[in-house]
Every structure is written in C-alpha cells, then in structure tokens.
Amino acid sequence: AQKITQTQPGMFVQEKEAVTLDCTYDTSDPSYGLFWYKQPSSGEMIFLIYQGSYDQQNATEGRYSLNFQKARKSANLVISASQLGDSAMYFCAMSPISSGSARQLTFGSGTQLTVLP
C-alpha cells in the first residue's frame, strides 16, 4: 500500500519569493515515481514535475524543482520566484513502476498555495 502525506493545508507566499511545499510518502514498492500536480480554481489537473525513485539527481522544470530525499521519504516541491498565477491547490502523488503494471496514482490531500502581491 502507498500513502502520501501533505501536512500543510494552506500556505502563503509573497510574490517573487520562493516557497517549499512538503510531501512525505510511504511505500513498499522497490521502484516508484513521484509527481506534483497543480489544480487551479478552474479545476484541471496540470502535471508539473516527475521524480523517479532511481534517479540520482533532483528533478527540475523551469521554476519548479523537486527536493527528493529518499532516506527521509520526502519529495518536497520548491517553487522559485512565485507568481500570482501560482495560486492554486498542489497535489503530491506517487505510483509504482514496473513493466505492464497499473500506474495507480495515490494522491495526498493537497496544499492550497496563495501568492500575495
């Protein structure tokens, strides 16, 4: 069984500052992927960044980076230079990785980020 924990229901950050959204996970799968999705008020789920459990380097995608600490089972999302458009709900998720298997995503409960002008 997999579990994702996001302990910050809400976060505030000043525009242009960096913010870290916390995510811890638990799994018995030897290989897994970690994902962050953004859900703006319009409701769609937007993929942001991916980290494989076997990846040696932390993933980066533009202003997004994933601080992956495997021993601590954490996969925190760092957003640099926050923008007003970053205000949204952010979900951490994970899935097992093995050839031909289900890619069931297990989601956390989300963090509502508000960027202040």
Partner 1 sequence: NAGVTQTPKFQVLKTGQSMTLQCAQDMNHEYMSWYRQDPGMGLRLIHYSVGAGITDQGEVPNGYNVSRSTTEDFPLRLLSAAPSQTSVYFCASSRLGGRALGADTQYFGPGTRLTVL
Q: Verify binding: residue 52, partner 1, rule CB under 8 A.
A: yes
Q: Give the C-alpha separation, 44 to 76, whole Å.
A: 22
Strands 88-96 and 111-116: antiparallel
Q: Verify binding: residue 35, partner 1, rule CB under 8 A.
A: yes
Kindly indicate which of the ranges 11-19, 22-30, 36-44, 72-80 contains the residues binding partner 1, using the contact rule CB under 8 A. Answer: 36-44
Write the CA distances from 4 to 13, 25, 70, 80, 108, integer angstroms. 23, 4, 14, 23, 5
User: Contact 114/100 with Cβ under 8 angstroms?
Assistant: no
- Out of 8, 55, 63, 73, the residue judged to bind partner 1 by CB under 8 A: 55
Q: How many residues bind partner 1 (CB under 8 A)?
A: 29
State how far Cα 56 lies from the chain centre: 17
Q: Give the C-alpha separation, 9 to 83, whole Å.
A: 20
Amino acid letter for position 21: L
Q: In the complex with partner 1, which residue's Cβ is closer, 29 or 55?
A: 55
Q: Verify binding: residue 93, partner 1, rule CB under 8 A.
A: yes
We find the least distance from the C-beta atom of residue 116 to partner 1, in angstroms, to be 23
Q: Verify binding: residue 44, partner 1, rule CB under 8 A.
A: yes
Q: In the complex with partner 1, which residue's Cβ is closer, 30 or 83?
A: 30
Q: Verify binding: residue 40, partner 1, rule CB under 8 A.
A: no
